[in-house]
Amino acid sequence: MIDPAPKRFRQADIAERAGVSVSTVSRVLANEQGISESVRRQILQVATDLGYPLKISPKTSHGALALIASDGVTGGLSVFYEGIVEGLRSGAVEHGMPFEIRLVREAKATPQTVQGLMESVGAQGLFLVGIDPADALCGWLEESRIPVVLVNGTDPQLRFDGVSPSNFFGAYAATRRLLYAGHHRILHLTGSHRHTIRERVRGFEAALASVKDGEARIVQLALQANASIEAHGATIATLAEAPGFTAAFCMNDFIAVGVLEAVTEIGLRVPEDFAIVGFDDLPCAQMANPRLATMRVDRVALGREAVSLMTSRFHDRDAPARHVCHAVVPVAGGTIANEGLHA
């Protein structure tokens, strides 16, 4: 007789037995501040009793604040950043780094606001997640010598440490997928002031320039409301004006879903008549019909890398700044033919 495998307890089991929310358990296991010591001890004791694998290291003397750009439409946490938060939390546990998370609109990330938030939680380091610091904030951060890590962000002057997906090379590879599939007139739907997104535009243009008969068209979106709906309308308008385009590389998967709906609506077959490649590999890519071909960004790895960079910066504040790029991986889907990729 084979003994059944022991049950693997989850954070939800700890929360139920401790009489707290799952988010409170997650925060305690991530060494976040703002939890009473009695609740912290109770949760750790329950986790120990259940045999939950704790990786909490002794706390360092340095804590950090993660400021995350809020979603421009909802004001909440974008689905893209959920994985980064998970990576930040797991990385903080391994490094014993207490940290707090706050959502903020990028325009509100002024020196006064950031200083006040850091002081309120006693943070010595700052993660800027999806936020390109404005000149005033950059000046204050440099003058104050606060350890900073840009997460999913890039400083063109390399004044601050940072980690991001390989946006240029990822966009180049995504566009080459369409070229290899026989599409040489390709749209790129995009729209953002961010350095990371401009790198995707550069990658797209470089890939089209690598073939003699390639034709590229940039379709700029305002992205002031629902990205899929906006991309839907822009695609229909663009193809009515220039029907010869047979493919689109999209800035992200939300936009790609809008393109897919638009071309299907006007009677084009996907992928036979029109091919689409997205970027990020968000849940909507898996739920699209057909499944979107896209480029996978390991968002958890970005968060964990950011914590490693911060730890190094705490140890040596005078070291030259570093920017780490993580490769993105092609994911096969039904919106492009004849690839031979495996998801």
Topology of domain 60-165+300-326 in CATH is Rossmann fold (3.40.50)
CA-nearest of 23, 117, 132, 109 to 63 is 117
Per-residue DSSP letter, 320 = P
The predicted model gives 296-323 an average pLDDT of 94
In single-letter form, the type of residue at position 166 comes to: S
| pLDDT digit string, tens, across residues 178-213 | 999 999 999 999 998 899 999 999 999 999 999 999
User: At the fourth CATH level, which superfamily is domain 167-297?
Assistant: Response regulator (3.40.50.2300)
Within a 13 Å sphere around the CA of 247, how many CA atoms are in the beta-carbon half? Answer: 30
Cβ-in-10-Å burial (0-12, 13-18, 19+) of 236 comes to: middle
Q: Identify the bridge partners of residue 330 per DSSP, sorted by sequence position.
A: 295
Lowest mean per-residue pLDDT among 22-36, 199-213, 245-259, 306-320: 22-36
Lowest mean per-residue pLDDT among 41-50, 98-107, 109-118: 41-50
Report pLDDT for 160: 97
Indicate the CATH number of 12-54 among 3.40.50.11540, 1.10.260.40, 3.30.750.24, 3.40.190.10.
1.10.260.40
**Number of Cβ within a 10 Å radius of residue 83:** 18
Kindly list the domain boundaries of the chain, sorted by start residue: 12-54, 60-165+300-326, 167-297
Report pLDDT for 40: 77
| pLDDT digit string, tens, across residues 261-296 | 999 999 999 999 999 999 999 999 999 999 999 999
Instruction: Round to whole Å and give the CA distance between 90 and 96.
Output: 10
Q: What is the pTM of this model?
A: 0.80
Instruction: Decide if 256 contacts 278 (C-beta within 8 A).
Output: yes
- Tell me the three-class secondary structure of 242-306, residue by residue: CCCCCEEEECCHHHHHHHHHHHHHCCCCCCCCCEEECCECCHHHHHCCCCCEEEECCHHHHHHHH
Report pLDDT for 26: 85
| pLDDT digit string, tens, across residues 130-139 | 999 999 999 9
Can 60-165+300-326 and 167-297 be said to share one CATH topology? Answer: yes
| pLDDT digit string, tens, across residues 12-51 | 889 888 899 988 888 888 767 667 767 877 888 888 778 7
Per-residue DSSP letter, 39 = H
Q: What is the overall mean pLDDT for the chain? A: 89
